[in-house]
Amino acid sequence: MKLAVLKERRDDESRVAATPDSVKRFTAQGIEVVIETGAGDGASIPDSQFAAAGAKIAPDFKSALDGADLIYKVRRPTAEELAAMKPGAGLVGLLAPYADRESLKAYAEKGLLAVSMEFIPRITRAQAMDALSSQANLAGYRAVIEAAHLYGRGFPMMMTAAGTVAAAKVFVMGAGVAGLQAIATARRLGAIVTATDVRPAAKEQVASLGAKFVAVEDEEFKQAETAAGYAKPMSAEYQAKQAALVADHIAKQDIVITTALIPGRPAPVLVTEAMVASMKPGAVIIDLAVEQGGNCPLSKPDELVRTNSAIIAGFSNLPGRIAADSSALYAKNLVNLTPLLVSKEGAFAPQLDDEIVKGAMLTNNGSIVHPTFAGGA
């Protein structure tokens, strides 16, 4: 069986879907691994390291894809890459089907078994395959590092002979995987951290990291989490109450990091223009939801927006700004998924009835099979 790993071409993506360690694991199983030349450059993995691990280096994506039974990618393929794939092959990546539903038709027409890593079920058995969590963890960390870079002052309180430097006040909005890592990182840097989330379970998690929880804790708040652990859309009434609570709080903050996302829906607005205007001069907002419209209406993808009071940064690919580690974690997610797609003998044999494969499978045998998208939904 041939496994192809391509150089990413979308959105200046610097991650790669394999590492020398994952290549060694695959080749030990009898899988032929072909890496497109330069695929690991953005993650500081030269072709020579892949070759030393047992991979063949292809001069271009067409050569890499020639006869490939399984293709591992970070982002969804370009039209040119898709055209070069073998009908019936397996395609695995962060395929972002909500952002490009037309791509599912193309996968189906090509006869691909398309597996989207965003849809790996949140069950215990699949934790080691959960790419959303592995990448969000690094995004939360990197968000704080970017904020520290943009903020014109230090994070920790520092007592010097010349006087005392006050600790930065950091407010994290959304305490999922990215938010919790942002809280932990800001605390390590010495900031005074507060956080908010609509999920009741987040309160204890926030407190365990040494941050103060800020939220309207009414009956709707108590029912604001799905069985899968995601935040439910909140009513306009609740959002208004929450906005009133945090508006005064935001005016006192130095850094605000927003992480609130709802799968398949536009990101909720958490920081209004009026809130931005109330912030201290030199304050920083990092909007992790910018690709889904942003938690702040002023944020723009991959641009720094400067107002009279704040700097608003919307980095659309924070994991890509720490590409070596994010690639390593993503590659491990794929290694852990591979036994469900490849037999012990090294043949492409997806376990279509397994709940993990079924949950993440978008297309198969010429049809869109995921219930969210089947039937043109």
| Catalytic annotation, residues | 122, 127, 130, 133, 230
Q: Answer yes or no: are the C-beta atoms of 308 and 277 closer than 8 Å.
A: yes
Strands 212-213 vs 255-258: parallel, antiparallel or unpaired: unpaired
| C-alpha–C-alpha distance, residues 77 and 87, integer Å | 15
Burial class, 172, CB count within 10 angstroms (exposed 0-12 / middle 13-18 / buried 19+): buried
CA atoms within 13 A on the CB side of 294: 21
Q: Answer yes or no: are the C-beta atoms of 182 and 143 closer than 8 Å.
A: yes
Residue found by looking up tokens 């209004």 in the block: 272
Q: Answer yes or no: are the C-beta atoms of 320 and 15 closer than 8 Å.
A: yes
Which of 127, 124, 125, 103 is closest to 116 using CA atoms? 103
Q: Answer yes or no: are the C-beta atoms of 191 and 165 closer than 8 Å.
A: no
Element (DSSP H or E) covering residue 135 = helix 131-150
Element (DSSP H or E) covering residue 325 = helix 323-337
Strands 361-364 vs 113-116: parallel, antiparallel or unpaired: antiparallel
| C-alpha–C-alpha distance, residues 73 and 169, integer Å | 39
Buried b (16+ CB within 10 A) or exposed e, 321-350: bbbebbbbbbbbbbbbbbebbbeeebebeb
